[in-house]
Amino acid sequence: MIRGDIAEICEEALERTFQSFPSTKTYFPNFNLSPGSAPVREQGRKVADALTNAVDNMDDLAETLSTLANLHAHRIRVDPTNFKHLNHNLLATLSRRYPRNFSPATHYSMDKFLSSALCAFLVGPPSTLAANEHSLCCDSALGHKSSALPTSTEA
């Protein structure tokens, strides 16, 4: 369902991110970032390729995303908050495109996957830290207090 539409989903999520968080545009100073523009479509394809690669290699997200992580952290110097904005807009786009299929459980699963990918992207492999330190570091990097599924009284 999603795999065939992933480039369009990522393009729409990028458009939402650029519109909602204009500071994210600073990393593309020479691009036409208007909705539907060729540079936004191309960047959407790149995000789609990275996410598809992450899905295909979930057992080693940190290694899978390490080249992109180094590029974005050290060469481009992207503010990590921008990736949280993109994740949020990916979820918003998915819920808009698939309202009947985007149940709370699906939302939770997608958020957990995107958060795990972002954590691997930002923090690196868990082998560099003790497991509990890695979990705390990821939660801190992502702004989460707990990775547990909320109970019905918390939701």
Q: Phi and psi (nearest 5°) for 87?
A: -55, -45
Judge whether 115 and 144 are in contact, CB under 8 Å: yes
**Residue 150, token pair as written in the block:** 């909320």
Spell out the residues 6+ positions from residue 21 whose beta carbon is closer than 8 angstroms to its own: 82, 85
Helix extents (H) in 6-151: 6-20, 38-56, 61-70, 81-97, 104-123, 131-142
Q: Which domain range does residue 110 map to? A: 3-142
* Residue 123 covered by a domain: yes
The domain that holds 79 is classified in CATH as 1.10.490.10
Distances (CA, A) of 155 to 69, 147, 151: 33, 14, 6
pLDDT for the residue numbered 137: 54
* Residue 105 covered by a domain: yes
Spell out the residues 6+ positions from residue 131 whose beta carbon is closer than 8 angstroms to its own: none
Q: pLDDT tier at 5 (50, 70, 90 boundaries)?
A: very high
* Residue 100 covered by a domain: yes
Residue with tokens 């939302």: 107
Over residues 99-146, the pLDDT tens digits come to 999 999 999 999 999 998 888 888 766 555 444 444 555 655 555 544
The tally of domains found in the chain comes to 1
Over residues 74-86, the pLDDT tens digits come to 888 888 889 999 9
> What mean pLDDT do residues 27-49 have?
93
* Residue 152 covered by a domain: no
* Residue 96 covered by a domain: yes
The amino acid sitting at 85 is: H
* Residue 8 covered by a domain: yes
* Residue 147 covered by a domain: no
CA–CA gap between residue 138 and residue 132 (Å, rounded) = 10
pTM across the whole model: 0.79
* Residue 26 covered by a domain: yes
